[in-house]
Chain A
Amino acid sequence: MRLFRRAPSLHVGDQPDCHEVAEVLQSYLDGELAGTDADRVADHLAHCARCDIEAATVQQVIDAIQRQRPTIDDAALDRLTGVVDALEQLDQPRRPSS
């Protein structure tokens, strides 16, 4: 079975049907669909209860997976920000005095 072997996009012209929306739904929900195509999918979902339910279900699965995302240690972020500060400081002696 072929799934998304090409970059996702909709056919130009007519409004997408349910099959076309199903093919790009994942990209739409992941924010990977280009602006006009995303608008057309959104418009289809607003008028098609079946596709809208499917989209909401897939989104629910994505949300459940994303809740497994580990928290980031603020102290680690602070230390790494400090690394950036230090890199800039290390460059200071090379700069000519004004």
Chain B
Amino acid sequence: MSADEGSPITHRPVSTERGRDRRFREQVLVELPVLLRVARRLTRDTVDAEDLVQDTLVRAYRAFDRFDGRHPRAWLLTILRNTHRNELRKRRPDLMDDEVAGRLPARDGGGRVDGVPDAALHDDLDPIVRRALAGLSAKHRAVIALVDIDGLTYKEAARMLEVPVGTVMSRLHRARAKVRADLEAHGIQGVRR
């Protein structure tokens, strides 16, 4: 297979190519941590996650000429989600909430979160927080996962979950309220300043 097989980029001036590559690099590299976090949540496997991000990068590179340059993270997440969905359709029905919630502990999911060793956790609150997260519904865990863990905006999370932004906000509010109630039930009160 030749190097240029399958790529739409042909007969472009070198200076244009270099500018394109520079813009692609600038807009994509900074988003790699978010892409990797979301991919790990979707695939539930570090190797599969890296493969998914790699496939996403290839597709993004090929489609970069059609990208308007606005909201690169949202654009990349859309490609990642579609790439994952295409792969998933080959194997099982699509259940986005369950997929996205996957990397947070479910009620029967044990105490670890995504392979983070206990030593990396910061204080005594964390076991309580993890139990609280495990007690959330899949829909509520999904929105916590995307916004609080992966760092997505409301709009980005809404796009991932295919729900309105208002739904993301209300689910987030309820999920955090549940975590807060669990913390307060363990005697951890609001801060006083």
Which residue on chain A has the smallest CB distance to residue B57? A83
B153 within 8 A of A: yes
- In-complex Cβ contact of B57 among A72, A77, A80, A92 (8 A): A80
Bitwise, B161-188 to A at CB < 8 A (1) or not (0) is: 0000110011011101001100100000
Q: A3-B169, A87-B61, A91-B17 are in contact. Are A65 and B129 (CB under 8 A)?
A: yes
When distances are taken between beta carbons in the complex, the residues of chain B under 8 Å from A80 are 32, 36, 50, 53-54, 57
Whether the Cβ atoms of B149 and A68 lie closer than 8 Å is yes
Residues of chain B at interface, number, CB under 8 A:
65
When distances are taken between beta carbons in the complex, the residues of chain B under 8 Å from A68 are 104, 113, 116, 121, 126, 129-130, 133, 148-149
B58 within 8 A of A: yes
Which residue on chain A has the smallest CB distance to residue B9? A91
Q: A65-B176, A70-B40 are in contact. Are A54 and B129 (CB under 8 A)?
A: no
A35 within 8 A of B: no
User: What is the total of A-B residue contacts with beta carbons within 8 Å?
Assistant: 150
B103 within 8 A of A: yes
Tell me the chain B residues, 1-38 only, with Cβ under 8 Å from chain A. 2-4, 7, 9-12, 14, 17, 21, 24-25, 28-29, 32-33, 36-37
Bound Cα distance A3, B149 (Å)? 22
Bound Cα distance A73, B37 (Å)? 10
When distances are taken between beta carbons in the complex, the residues of chain A under 8 Å from B14 are 95-96, 98
B193 within 8 A of A: yes
Whether the Cβ atoms of A53 and B32 lie closer than 8 Å is no
- In-complex Cβ contact of B193 among A32, A56, A96 (8 A): A56
Whether the Cβ atoms of A32 and B154 lie closer than 8 Å is yes
How big is the A interface, by class? 35 or more
How far apart are B163's CB and chain A's nearest CB, in angstroms? 12
Whether the Cβ atoms of A79 and B50 lie closer than 8 Å is yes
Chain A interface (Cβ within 8 Å of chain B)? 3-8, 26-27, 30, 32, 52-54, 56-58, 60-62, 64-73, 76-77, 79-81, 83-84, 87-88, 90-96, 98
User: Would you give 12 A-B contacts (Cβ < 8 Å), ordered by A?
Assistant: A4-B170, A4-B173, A52-B193, A53-B192, A56-B193, A67-B121, A68-B130, A70-B103, A70-B149, A84-B24, A92-B3, A95-B12
Extra A-B contacts (7), CB below 8 Å, given A26-B173, A84-B24: A56-B193, A61-B183, A70-B116, A77-B36, A80-B57, A93-B2, A94-B3
Chain B interface (Cβ within 8 Å of chain A)? 2-4, 7, 9-12, 14, 17, 21, 24-25, 28-29, 32-33, 36-37, 40, 46, 50, 53-54, 57-58, 61, 103-104, 113-116, 120-123, 125-126, 129-130, 133, 144, 147-151, 153-154, 165-166, 169-170, 172-174, 176, 179-180, 183, 190-193
